[in-house]
């Protein structure tokens, strides 16, 4: 065996190293922690992985949405309201909520996805604020600023997820399934086509790819994942309100995506796992938290544009250079 082979990791092993370690930590450590609060953070981390995976789908088509939380709201409100009004089971109401969200995303995406850059960002921001205001105004249905309380825990086939450890198990499975789905999607031709659209839309169009259709596909699918995360979050916390889905939430999701790595399948997992528990270090010092986030974004964009998920690749390059 050559020195290069013995020192440097293979590309496959390098790609999977940090994600596998993080998944192992998330899967094994949290259920054994006696603190209910730590388990609560673990559940929130899994939910954020699902939601940020949806944002990553939009981002990898070359767009960045500043209204991603709005689709969490649409999914959560639609599922909760239809469940209460029609007496549907969780699976049925969740399916309705996700379908309603994807329909809204299809209509909106078909209209606005021909916009580029800051124009798309501004329109998605405006849409997010519009959804929040609609939820506030239609108080007879949505509860207005008071929101909706008493949302029942998730129940699937008679099994009730009414403890944090049970919810953690459910959200862990869904989060890992969404990550593996992303991994498989971007290994297939359609995923590579989506990436090519982000790299050079004009070139992709000239080769016969339907740029607009691919972006709409990514947008709809990404919003569907946001709705799924929003629905699970609503049933876990037991309460939703319009302020639960403000623009600050969308910005936080973008920070997770960028710091984790917006072009990596594992970026959402890494970003959510690092940043979801982090605010606890700044409890009572919100301004310090914002300063840290800003500094972290600047450093990541300047020195590590691929995000934290790119670290194994960088380590592999250094190992090959040393071996050579």
CA dist., res. 199 & res. 174, Å (int): 30
The kind and range of the H/E element at 240 are strand 239-240
pLDDT at 120: 92
Decide: 230 and 45 in contact? Cβ < 8 Å: no
Eight-class DSSP state of 264: S
CA dist., res. 180 & res. 106, Å (int): 24
Helices 247-260/118-137 angle, 10° precision: 140
pLDDT at 48: 96
CA dihedral 186, 190, 195, 196 (to 10 degrees): 150
C-alpha closest to that of 153 among 164, 141, 143? 164
Contacts of residue 129, defined as CB under 8 A and 6 or more positions apart, other chains included, come to 67, 247
**How large is the C-alpha radius of gyration of the chain?**
20
Averaged confidence pLDDT in the chain = 85
pLDDT band at 207 (very low <50, low <70, confident <90, very high): confident
pLDDT of residue 240 exceeding 90: yes
pLDDT of residue 28 exceeding 70: no
pLDDT of residue 76 exceeding 90: yes
Q: What's the predicted TM-score (pTM) here?
A: 0.87
Mean pLDDT confidence for 142-146: 92
Q: What is the pLDDT of residues 211-234, one digit of tens each?
A: 899 999 999 999 999 999 999 999
- Coil vs helix vs strand at 239: strand
Strand blocks (E) in 138-237: 148-149, 155-156, 159-160
Q: Where exactly are the structural domains of the chain?
A: 16-316
Q: What is the pLDDT of residues 80-135, one digit of tens each?
A: 999 999 989 999 999 999 999 999 999 999 999 988 888 999 999 999 999 999 99
Share of the chain above pLDDT 90, in %: 52
pLDDT at 302: 83
Q: Which CATH class is domain 16-316?
A: mainly alpha
Mean pLDDT confidence for 24-32: 57
């Amino acid at each position: 065996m050559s020195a290069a082979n013995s020192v440097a990791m293979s590309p496959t092993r390098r790609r999977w190293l940090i994600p596998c370690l993080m998944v192992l930590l998330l899967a094994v450590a949290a259920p054994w922690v006696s603190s209910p609060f730590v388990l609560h953070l673990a559940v929130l981390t899994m939910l954020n992985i699902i939601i940020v995976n949806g944002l990553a789908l939009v981002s990898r088509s070359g767009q960045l949405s500043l209204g991603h939380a709005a689709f969490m709201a649409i999914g959560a409100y639609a599922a909760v309201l239809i469940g209460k009004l029609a007496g549907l089971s969780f699976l049925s109401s969740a399916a309705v909520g996700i379908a309603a969200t994807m329909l809204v995303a299809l209509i909106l995406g078909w209209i606005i996805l021909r916009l580029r850059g800051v124009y798309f960002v501004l329109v998605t921001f405006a849409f997010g604020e519009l959804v929040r205001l609609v939820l506030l105004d239609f108080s007879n249905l949505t509860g207005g600023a008071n929101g909706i309380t008493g949302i029942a825990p998730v129940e699937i086939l008679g099994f009730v997820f009414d403890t944090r450890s049970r919810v953690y198990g459910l959200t862990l499975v869904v989060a890992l399934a969404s990550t593996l789905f992303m991994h498989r999607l971007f290994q297939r031709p359609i995923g590579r086509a989506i990436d090519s659209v982000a790299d050079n839309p004009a070139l992709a169009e000239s080769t016969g790819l339907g740029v607009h259709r691919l972006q709409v596909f990514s947008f709809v699918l990404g919003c569907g994942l946001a709705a799924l995360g929003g629905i699970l979050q609503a049933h876990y916390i037991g309460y939703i309100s319009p302020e639960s889905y403000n623009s600050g939430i969308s910005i936080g999701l973008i920070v997770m995506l960028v710091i984790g790595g917006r072009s990596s399948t594992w970026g959402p997992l890494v970003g959510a796992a690092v940043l979801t528990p982090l605010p606890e270090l700044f409890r009572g010092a919100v301004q310090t938290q914002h300063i840290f986030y800003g500094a972290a974004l600047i450093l990541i964009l300047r020195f590590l544009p691929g995000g934290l998920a790119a670290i194994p690749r960088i380590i592999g390059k250094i190992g090959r250079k040393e071996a050579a």
